[in-house]
Structure 1
Amino acid sequence: MRIRALAALFLLVVTLPIGAAATAAPALSLPRPTGPYAVGTTWLHLTDTARADPWRPDVRRELMVSLWYPARPGRGAPAPYTTAAVSSRIVAAEGLPLPPDVLTTVSTNARRDLPVRPPAGKGWPLVVLSPGFSPSRESLTGLAEDLASRGYVVAGVDHPYEARGVEFPDGRVAECLACELDDVMPQVVRGRAADVSFLLDRLTGARPAWRGARYLDRHRIAVVGHSIGGASAAHLLTTDRRVDAAADLDGTLFVPVVTNRPLLLVGADRPADASWVRDWPGLSEWKRWLTVAGTGHMSFTDRPVLGAQLGLDPGAVPAERQLLITRTYVAAFLDVHLGKRDQPQLDGPSPAFPEVTRTR
């Protein structure tokens, strides 16, 4: 599959009718988180001096990371959804009739640099989020804020040169070099797994890059990803023993997965992914395959919510409910495997969510 085709999926949900003029967009916002905690956020810029960038071998691999975490309530500044540079590249990639900075106007629920709320137990579990191909880390903000409000520290990681734009603190912007290439998905999966392992080094090592890392439980770590990010999350179960569990949100497994650690597969409403069928027998521990009726590939991101606010029809399932389903089932999975709390909706039909069926 050509990578440009995957990139187009991201932009589809915010495409306005052909010929529409660029006008001021309506107010955009994310639904409030459902957990009991206030949410703080901060950004990290990390450089892996030991590894060349896979798309630009002349430079070291750099990452931009957003951290969302349970916070002490405070009056911190509202967190930006993304930067103007990133927003403009997303809008320009397909010539969308929207203001270039439209994504900077999204109202979020986190506050910048609030103090971390001390956990009642050993520490907050850590969840790493990896976005799909061509979106940036902000595309999973609605999920990240909700998980943080429920008692997880969440690290959303950008993978430079695999997104339409990743802006570094000095103003440099990494364009999507990989978007113009064919047949690189296995390379993307393996490279992203290396990115996440490096991030774990920097958050859980002896000299962590984030001062709030002292509140982490280093023995409770999961990775969740959308699309190719989900494939890399699953791959990490085979490459990094620190990862206790992984969830793949509608991502083809371009690299085969054989593991005895928990894996959740959540698919959109379409025929079964052949790679999931292929790898299912090799998943020897806890495993679930859920299908969500009335959804598409981007239903597990913020895009249906923002698209609906721009006047688009979200399809059979209301936009905010699509996000609610994602939040609920990802949190249930994490509660079982990081929080050690039973969540029976993962085992069978739930009257509250008739759209979700257990495929296997």
Structure 2
Amino acid sequence: MRQLLAVAAGLVVLAASACTAPTPPRPAGVEATPTGPATLPVPTGPRPVGTTALHLTDTSRPDPWNLDADARELKVTLWYPTERRDGRRAPYMTPKESELFLRGKRVTGVPYDTLSKTRTNAVQDAEPAGRRLPLVVLSPGFTNPVSTLTSLAEDLASRGYVVAGIDHSYESHATTLSDGRIAECLACDSDTDPGFGTGVVQGRAADVSFVLDRLPSEWDGSGVIDRSRIAMVGQSMGGAGAMAAMVKDSRVRAGIDMDGTTYARIPKGGFTRPFMFLGSPQHVPGGRDPSWDRDWKLLTGWKRWIVLTGAEHQSFTDGPLLAGVLGVKPPYGVLDAARAAELTRTYVAAFLDQHLKARRQPILQGPSSRHPEARFCPAACGQS
């Protein structure tokens, strides 16, 4: 059902990435009529937002996808509170990244630089402000760059978090490396291999640990970070990576999987750190993806399993917010883009506020009349 909705809606713009399954069908080209530049929703927190990018190289291991590279190169985009309210807004993508991304998604009928014109809210290279701020690692779905989670990242930064979004090189259609080279999706040639998902999340866990090791010395603004309060949030393969990173690295205190099949195996003795599943109706108990049922039993600490009525796989990304610039509309019954963004921001921020800021969140205790789309599983969450 998810794949049919994505194709019918034209949301293959951002939805044709490997999602809960590592081998999604390749959609036909999508014809679209542009409507003008997209504008991301304004962050809901009180703080202005700054952003900058780092390029890090892990010389301790070869790249798992580029056999000619004896080191792993990563791009890390940081979003954070700042005092600066004016200045040049950061680009969403470069024109070349937009071109490769849209070609990779087989989108036609719009200029290939369309997504580079998307209007963001963060000031480029603004000075960070604050002290002892929690850190949130952000990881995107397979084939998607981390820029497709910009709306969520900006919102968290406005609420007082430092967000480190990782572009896992060669796993998306376009990542610009430090010397201007573009890393395209070499991993896309392997996504039918046995054990593909397990291998990807193991690599992502290593990426996360490396970034946590290096961030204090590589970012001039790292003094604002409280390294005792770290969480990870990911969508699709990034959500699976959140689970894998937590199993591997005890520095990650809490995690959220947004609509991703999990591949990392939790120890049989259980896993006590806070974790939340936030997903679409395909992730109801007994649904198409059995991995959440399996792992739910092994989560022995604070946990939540929330399904959003009307959501589809990319509802937790910027995908629906950008559909209009590609001239496409979601089919009837799919959650409105603005509402999907609001719900995602609300529940992610509530989880992080409770577990990194020790602020109890009533919204996480059960159903809310203000958010009737959110169903708490497994007790109040039947198949749909």
Fold agreement, TM-score > 0.5: yes
**Closer/same/farther in 2, CA of residues 127 and 19 from structure 1, 3 Å limit:** closer
Task: Give CA deviations for 1:162-212 in whole Å, capped at 9, x if unaligned.
Answer: 1011111322111111111123111000000100110000124xxx11011
Structure 1 equivalent of residue 19 of structure 2 = none
Structure 1 equivalent of residue 12 of structure 2 = 12
- Structure 1 unmatched ranges of 5 or more: none
Structure 1 equivalent of residue 309 of structure 2 = 293
SS of aligned partner of 2:301: coil
| 8 Å Cα contact 1:244/1:261 also seen in 2 | yes
Q: Give 1:238-249 correspondences, 5 Å limit.
A: 238-249=247-258
| 8 Å Cα contact 1:22/1:99 also seen in 2 | no
**Closer/same/farther in 2, CA of residues 19 and 246 from structure 1, 3 Å limit:** closer
SS of aligned partner of 1:109: coil
SS of aligned partner of 1:46: strand
Supply the AA of the counterpart residue of 1:61: R
Match of 1:164 among 173, 180, 183: 173
Structure 2 equivalent of residue 154 of structure 1 = 163
Match of 2:324 among 290, 296, 308: 308
Structure 2 equivalent of residue 53 of structure 1 = 63
Structure 2 equivalent of residue 178 of structure 1 = 187
Please give the root-mean-square deviation of Cα atoms over the aligned residues, in Å: 2.3
SS of aligned partner of 1:358: strand
Structure 1 equivalent of residue 266 of structure 2 = 257
Match of 2:83 among 66, 72, 82: 72
Supply the AA of the counterpart residue of 2:352: L
1:138 aligns with 2:154: no
| 8 Å Cα contact 1:260/1:283 also seen in 2 | yes
Structure 2 equivalent of residue 43 of structure 1 = 53
Supply the AA of the counterpart residue of 2:242: A
In the TM superposition, what is the alpha-carbon distance from 1:13 to its structure 2 partner? Answer: 4.6
Task: Give CA deviations for 1:39-84 in whole Å, capped at 9, x if unaligned.
Answer: 0000110000111101124311000111000001242211000112
Distance 1:307 1:177 in 2: 26
Task: Give CA deviations for 1:304-344 in whole Å, capped at 9, x if unaligned.
Answer: 11113544323432111101100000000000100100111
Runs of 4+ in 1 over 3 A off after TM superposition: 7-11, 18-25, 308-311
| 8 Å Cα contact 2:281/2:307 also seen in 1 | yes
1:195 aligns with 2:207: yes
**Closer/same/farther in 2, CA of residues 14 and 54 from structure 1, 3 Å limit:** closer
**Closer/same/farther in 2, CA of residues 229 and 10 from structure 1, 3 Å limit:** farther
SS of aligned partner of 1:248: strand
- Structure 2 unmatched ranges of 5 or more: 16-27, 379-384
Q: Give 1:83-94 correspondences, 5 Å limit.
A: 83-94=94-105
Task: Give CA deviations for 1:246-294 in whole Å, capped at 9, x if unaligned.
Answer: 0000000122224211110011022432011111111110011000000
Supply the AA of the counterpart residue of 1:352: R
| 8 Å Cα contact 2:29/2:107 also seen in 1 | no
**Closer/same/farther in 2, CA of residues 10 and 277 from structure 1, 3 Å limit:** farther
1:118 aligns with 2:130: yes
Query: Higher RCO, 1 or 2 (CA under 8 Å, sep at least 6)?
Result: 2
In the TM superposition, what is the alpha-carbon distance from 1:23 to its structure 2 partner? Answer: 5.8
**Closer/same/farther in 2, CA of residues 165 and 14 from structure 1, 3 Å limit:** closer
Structure 1 equivalent of residue 21 of structure 2 = none
Supply the AA of the counterpart residue of 1:86: E
**Closer/same/farther in 2, CA of residues 155 and 10 from structure 1, 3 Å limit:** farther
Distance 1:359 1:94 in 2: 33
| 8 Å Cα contact 2:10/2:330 also seen in 1 | no
| 8 Å Cα contact 1:225/1:249 also seen in 2 | yes
Q: State the percentage of identical aligned residues.
A: 49
Structure 2 equivalent of residue 32 of structure 1 = 42
Supply the AA of the counterpart residue of 1:255: A
SS of aligned partner of 1:295: coil
Distance 1:67 1:14 in 2: 22
Distance 2:39 2:374 in 1: 26
TM-score norm. by structure 2 comes to 0.86
In the TM superposition, what is the alpha-carbon distance from 1:24 to its structure 2 partner? Answer: 5.2
Aligned residues: 349
Distance 1:34 1:40 in 2: 15
| 8 Å Cα contact 1:25/1:99 also seen in 2 | no
SS of aligned partner of 2:304: strand
Supply the AA of the counterpart residue of 2:50: G
In the TM superposition, what is the alpha-carbon distance from 1:213 to its structure 2 partner? Answer: 0.3
In the TM superposition, what is the alpha-carbon distance from 1:19 to its structure 2 partner? Answer: 8.5
Distance 1:20 1:199 in 2: 36
